[in-house]
Amino acid sequence: MSTNNVSMIPNGYTLLRRAGQGTQAKVYTCLPNPAITFARNALDDGDEVEHVGSALLSQVVAVKSSYTGSLRAEIRILNAIRTQSSHHKGGMHCTQLLDYERPSASPNWFSMSTTPVCCDLHAFSEQLPGPLPKSVLWLVATQLYDAFWFLHRVCAPPIAHLDVGLSNFTISYPGADSIGAPKITLLDFGAAVIVPEAESLGQTRTREDDVANFCYEIYTLCLECCDGSEEPSGIGAEKMRRFMRIWSDVTNLEQLRVEFGQFAEEQLALVEERDWQEVKDLVLQTVQRVDEQEGSIRDAVLKILEVNN
């Protein structure tokens, strides 16, 4: 573990591994130190290491730490999301702020929720041995539609993300033994804006840009479902073909709902458990490849318990 990475971790957290890096900040998978203390006490009381390790693994968080300046603007956006996320189901599909540096006029770190079984959709799609399962397409189109509806129509004032792309969509499970559908989450609000404030500065198409970019990513995922051919086939092929022709003409969420969103939601309800098991196996394969490059989160957690024991 490089000393540079360790130096960017705020007090109160223990570094497990690097999770990502942008132009202004790095993201790390960490454990809150109180959770480690609780786990150590459980071991002292005679609990099994495997049991304690699994419980501790569920406590992992993501810490974003800036090396170029303040994260105040992003924290402001995430605070607005946190205070309003209970108002609509789409709020749960946006990054959830947990804590941040304070008191500080220029905070340079914050922590957010994550899971030990998680990868971004860009990495996931790149590692697929075959076509993208359509269940993932239906899931993204449904859950992130809810996220954008929450941001654009429920939040007051409305919020625009402005960095919509597969690398900022994650697919995750609470743990490796989870069953059912995974969760899709919209990440990285570093470019996000409060819509009225942006409009006062001349940015008049912020929400339209979000919708256009989201439609493009749905189009991209439709292509991923085609297994090398230019045309979709099988379940939903006709609706997919139409959307692939007209996606660039979709200008708002209501139109997206009519052209693809409602159909995706209907198809999502028909996905069977064996299909979700296939998706989970593919996610675990992607996570394993990341573990091989960056180090296993589970192994890091167990190592911490060995040290503390």
Contact (CB, 8 A) for 277 and 9: no
Within-domain flag for 278: yes
Task: Check whether 208 has a pLDDT greater than 90.
Answer: yes
Q: CA 285, 286, 291, 296 torsion: positive or negative?
A: negative
46: domain CATH number?
A: 3.30.200.20
Tell me the C-alpha to C-alpha distance, in Å, between residue 307 and each of 35, 40, 43, 177. Answer: 15, 10, 12, 26
Q: What percent of the chain has pLDDT over 70?
A: 96
> In this predicted structure, what is the pLDDT of residue 103?
84
| Type of residue numbered 240 | M
Mean pLDDT of 134-143: 98
Per-residue pLDDT tens digits for 67-121: 888 999 999 999 999 999 998 999 999 999 999 998 888 999 999 999 999 999 9
40 is in which domain, residue-wise?
A: 3-116+295-308
Burial profile 190-225: b = 16 or more Cβ within 10 angstroms, e = fewer: bebbbbeebbeeeeeebbeebbbebbebbbbbbbbb
Q: Are strands 193-194 and 159-160 parallel, antiparallel or unpaired?
A: antiparallel
Please give the pLDDT value at position 5. Answer: 66
Beta strands in 122-222 (DSSP E): 159-160, 169-173, 183-186, 193-194
Structure tokens at 146: 């809810």
Q: What pLDDT was estimated at residue 184?
A: 98
What does pTM read for this prediction? 0.94
In a domain, 152, yes or no: yes
Query: pLDDT by residue (tens digit) across 164-195?
Result: 999 999 999 999 999 999 999 999 999 999 99
| pLDDT for position 307 | 60
Vertex 175: Cα angle to 32 and 62 (nearest 5): 35
Q: What b/e string do you get for 150-161 counting C-beta neighbours within 10 Å, with b at 16 or more?
A: bbbebbeebbbb
Q: 56 and 41 in contact (C-beta within 8 Å)?
A: no
In our burial notation (b when 16+ CB lie closer than 10 A, e otherwise), range 257-296 reads bebbbebbbebbeebeeeebeebbebbeebbeebbeeebb
State how many domains the chain has: 2
Asked whether residue 142 falls in the same domain as residue 109, the answer is: no
Task: Give the pLDDT band of residue 1 (cuts 50, 70, 90).
Answer: low
Of 14-23, 79-88, 146-155, which gets the smallest average pLDDT? Answer: 14-23
Q: What is the pLDDT of residue 308?
A: 52
3-state secondary structure of 117: strand
Same-domain pairing of 269 and 123: yes
The backbone torsions φ and ψ at residue 105, rounded to the nearest 5 degrees and listed phi first, read -75, -20
Amino acid at position 293, single letter: Q
Tell me: do 34 and 79 sit in the same domain. Answer: yes
Bridge partners (DSSP) of residue 92 are none
Residue 168 sits in a domain of what CATH number? 1.10.510.10
pLDDT (0 to 100) of residue 228 = 63
Q: Let me know if residue 62 belongs to a domain.
A: yes
Tokens encoding 2 = 């490089």
pLDDT digit string (tens) for 213-267? 999 999 999 999 987 667 788 889 999 999 999 999 999 999 999 999 999 999 9
pLDDT tens, residue by residue, 30-64:
999 999 999 999 999 999 988 999 999 999 999 99
Task: State whether 132 and 263 are in the same domain.
Answer: yes
